[in-house]
């Protein structure tokens, strides 16, 4: 479906301003001036600034989850660990290609608001389902290490959001589309190396346990 150009221009302007000034610090007039449209057009499309936010978040998450689903559906010929790596790559590339709104959303998720709680119930629950299932399928640790499994999952989730929660750590290194692509590739490689280390340690523990059992 073809996007409405002026509507998308408003969303892009709002994303940039929400990232820079926060939701509360951004007015509808700020958005209209940055998007070079009339305030009445924003009211026509979204009713209010809250309506614009909800539309933008819905658009962001529906495209994000569709990207994850597409990757998962196409992974039948890969090993579980390669499935997980492909999913991680798709997550970071999506978040990095929508960098400003990704940073804004992760800031908003630290706030205790009705809107955030509603969003957590819908989109974040589905995101967690995709990541958790793919992770546990790849990292088959014995059941007596269930706690370890969940600690490792928590670490992975932390790595997936760190660049967007601590964006000031990277702001001088990531400027322009090319540097965003380079950052995404390097960061994905770092997470993949962490996974390889975890898998290697798991295999070592399994061998040790097998040796103890045999003796």
Residues ≥6 apart with Cβ < 8 Å to 60: 98, 101, 102, 105
Q: What is the pLDDT of residues 73-87, one digit of tens each?
A: 887 788 899 999 999
Name all domains of the chain by residue range, CATH numbers in brackets: 1-47 (1.10.10.60), 56-214 (1.10.357)
Give pLDDT, residue 1.
45
Question: 97 φ, ψ to 5°?
Answer: -75, -15
Q: What is the pLDDT of residues 165-196, one digit of tens each?
A: 887 666 555 566 667 888 899 999 999 999 99
Q: What are phi and psi for residue 130, nearest 5 degrees? A: -60, -50
Does residue 205 carry a pLDDT above 60? no
Report how far residue 159's alpha carbon sits from residue 87's, in angstroms, rounded to the nearest whole number. 14
Average pLDDT over residues 21-43: 93
| d(C-alpha 127, C-alpha 146), whole Å | 21
Given a contact cutoff of 8 angstroms between Cβ atoms, the answer to whether 8 and 18 are in contact is: no
| pLDDT mean across residues, the chain | 84
Q: What is the pTM of this model?
A: 0.85
Residue ranges of the alpha helices (H) in 22-79?
28-35, 39-46, 49-73
**What would the pLDDT profile of 120-140 be if each residue is shown by its tens digit?**
788 999 999 999 999 998 887
């Amino acid at each position: 479906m073809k996007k409405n150009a002026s509507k998308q221009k408003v969303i892009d302007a709002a994303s940039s301003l929400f990232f820079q000034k926060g939701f509360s610090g951004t007015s509808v007039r700020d958005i209209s001036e940055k998007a070079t449209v009339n305030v009445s057009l924003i009211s026509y499309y979204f009713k209010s600034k809250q309506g614009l936010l909800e539309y933008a978040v819905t658009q962001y998450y529906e495209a994000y989850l569709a990207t994850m689903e597409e990757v998962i559906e196409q992974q039948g010929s890969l090993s579980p660990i390669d499935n997980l790596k492909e999913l991680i790559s798709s997550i970071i590339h999506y978040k990095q290609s929508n960098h400003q709104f990704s940073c804004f959303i992760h800031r908003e998720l630290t706030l205790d608001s009705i809107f955030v709680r509603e969003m957590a119930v819908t989109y974040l629950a589905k995101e967690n389902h995709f990541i958790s299932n793919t992770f546990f399928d790849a990292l088959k640790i014995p059941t007596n290490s269930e706690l370890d499994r969940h600690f490792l999952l928590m670490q992975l989730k932390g790595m997936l959001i760190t660049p967007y929660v601590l964006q000031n750590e990277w702001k001088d290194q990531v400027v322009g589309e090319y540097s965003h692509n380079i950052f995404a590739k390097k960061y994905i490689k770092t997470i993949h190396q962490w996974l390889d280390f975890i898998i290697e340690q798991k295999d070592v523990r399994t061998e040790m346990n097998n040796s103890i059992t045999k003796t």
